[in-house]
Amino acid sequence: MLVTLAQRPDLAEATYAIPYPPESPKFMAGSLAGLLVRGRRVASRWPHLVVALLEDDRPVARGIMVPFRSRGRLPSRGWDEVAVWAAEDALDGVVTDTACALEIAVHPDYQGRGYSRAVLEGMRAAAAGSESLVIPVRPPDKAAVPAVPMRSYVAQTRADGLPADRWLRTHVRAGGRILGVAACSATVQAPLADWRGWTGLPFDRDGVVEVPGALAPVFVSVAQDFAVYVEPNVWVSHRVG
Ligand SMILES: CC(C)(COP(=O)(O)OP(=O)(O)OC[C@H]1O[C@@H](n2cnc3c(N)ncnc32)[C@H](O)[C@@H]1OP(=O)(O)O)[C@@H](O)C(=O)NCCC(=O)NCCS
């Protein structure tokens, strides 16, 4: 069963408590833009845009969206800029017209059962009041080939013409349309001590480093004591309603 937190505010805590798989990258917690759209904030301001899939009345998957006003184009800085636009529009009291999914997560014990497709359907229904639904999709399996440009990765298809990547394939099967690559979508810039804490890696040489879970290489400057990760995502649009 699919509900929104507007329908079931009592489930907010349990919905946000759905964990990521243990191998998920910890460094994404260093996203500054992500602070703007942390759990409770979205749940209390836009509960109608947070979808939970229930099994025995317990949330086992979630989908989180935020609204923003379209500026006639998709934000060139992807996920980060959507978070900023949504926060700006909320602060300014602007009427929004676009829903953007920031996250879809299925409880690790319930993955591989097609639940993400159900969450997508629930998001399309929950976004019915918006003119469109867009998603800067993060294909987690891209982490296996961080050096491959996202452009080339997205172009890889199977014999049946569907994307080779399973998460992009799920979107396309659900009716999603791949619009293009968001080259600078999610950024994490942080002192090396933070990176060492998140990854257990030494970060003791300059240049590009491959970090488990990262979809692209991380750029390191030992002398300047920081590293920067710029994650590419893939813009997908879905019909609403
Ligand atoms: C990405 C995610 C949402 C997919 O959810 P899911 O419910 O497990 O996915 P599905 O069961 O619908 O499977 C989707 C596809 O992946 C395949 N798949 C599922 N688990 C797999 C695995 N462990 N290895 C390889 N393929 C797998 C399925 O067979 C399916 O492909 P198919 O349609 O060709 O058969 C889920 O893995 C997740 O929550 N990951 C952590 C959060 C995340 O990374 N979210 C995405 C970015 S916001």
113: domain CATH number is 3.40.630.30
Q: Which residue type occupies 23?
A: E
pLDDT at position 39 is 83
Q: Which domain holds residue 125?
A: 2-238
Ligand 1 atom 20, closest CA: 112
Q: How many domains does the chain have?
A: 1
* Rounded Cα gap, residues 66 and 42, in angstroms: 7
Tens of pLDDT along the chain (241 residues) come to 999 999 999 999 999 999 999 999 999 999 999 999 998 899 999 999 999 999 999 999 999 999 999 988 899 999 999 999 999 999 999 999 999 999 999 999 999 999 999 999 999 999 999 999 999 999 999 999 999 999 999 999 999 999 999 999 999 999 999 999 999 999 999 999 999 999 999 999 999 999 999 999 999 999 999 999 999 999 999 999 8
Strand ranges inside 126-225, DSSP E: 132-137, 177-191, 207-209, 218-221
Q: Is 224 helix (H, G, I), strand (E, B) or coil?
A: coil
Closest CA to 195 of 174, 223, 220: 220
* Rounded Cα gap, residues 167 and 111, in angstroms: 12
Question: By CB neighbour count within 10 A (0-12 exposed, 13-18 middle, 19+ buried), where does 234 fall?
Answer: buried
Closest CA to 23 of 240, 230, 214: 214
Distance of CA 47 from the midpoint of ligand 1 (Å): 25
pLDDT at position 71 is 83
pTM of the model: 0.95
Question: CA geometry: angle at 37 spanning 169 and 98, to 5°?
Answer: 60
Distance of CA 44 from the midpoint of ligand 1 (Å): 28
Best of 55, 120, 167, 215 for a ligand 1 pocket test (most atoms within 8 Å of beta carbon): 167
Ligand 1 atom 47, closest CA: 138
Helix 166-173, helix 115-126: angle, nearest 10: 50
Report the pocket of ligand 1 as residue ranges, CB < 6 Å.
20-21, 103-106, 111-117, 138, 140, 166-167, 169-170
Which residue's entry shows tokens 């009592």?
Answer: 10
